[in-house]
Amino acid sequence: MSTAAPSAWRERLASPLIWHFAGCGMLAVLAIVLGARFFMDWAATSDRSAGVLANKQTELKLLEMQTAPLRGLDKRVATTRDEIKDFYAKRIPANYSAIESRVDELQVKSGVHLSRLQYTQGKTNNDLTEIELDAGISGDYPQIMFFINALERDRNFFVIRAMALTGQQGGQVNLRLRLSTWLRPADVPKGLPTEESLNSAPDANGANQNASGKEGRQE
């Protein structure tokens, strides 16, 4: 029996069928190992691809948000230009005399008294020249408020720069008012004093008075 058993194992090992099964088993194990490795690599690649795709989608969304304000910019520019032209035509005084006449009309309508009115040429920006008005106003409080509100709501474009109470006696109020309007450079009268010339004058209370009142309002 002892000699027959090894002989039987040797015969089995020498059998091609045994080696065939063994080879098939090894191939199956190798296929399983390679399949598992391939699956892990594929999963990792899929995750990276998904991450890259998500990043690209995020970048695209950010670019869309950043460029959104630029869409239709040409149309908005054209619309803005038309609005500016319309504003100039409706709100900018046609000439220097239009400013004077309108201020005089509002003075009469409100009942206030302008004790002094000085016109000064300011800076020129965006095709318009600023015209500064410095006025002394006296009257009842309701009259003064009516005059100021009328200026702010007027068709001509007036901007209140500053107001300062200079005195009060009974029901009369004295107020210093500074405001601005604008003219096209071609409509600005020659010889109108500038802010620089007034500031450089040696006597602000003397020499500067030559640019006040009627003299400062000449075209």
Indicate the DSSP class of residue 194: B
Burial of 182 per CB tally in 10 Å (0-12, 13-18, 19+): buried
What is the reported pTM? 0.59
Domains for the chain: give ranges and CATH numbers. 97-217 (3.30.70.60)
Query: pLDDT of 171-203, one tens digit each?
Result: 889 999 999 999 999 899 888 888 777 666 555
Sign of dihedral through CA atoms 48, 50, 52, 55?
negative
Longest Cα–Cα distance in the chain: 146
Over residues 80-104, the pLDDT tens digits come to 888 888 988 999 999 999 999 999 9
pLDDT in tens, 55-85: 777 777 777 777 777 677 777 778 888 888 8
Handedness of CA 126, 131, 137, 139 (dihedral sign): negative
Instruction: Determine the Cα–Cα distance for residues 50 and 218; give it in Å rounded to an integer.
Output: 77
pLDDT band at 111 (very low <50, low <70, confident <90, very high): very high
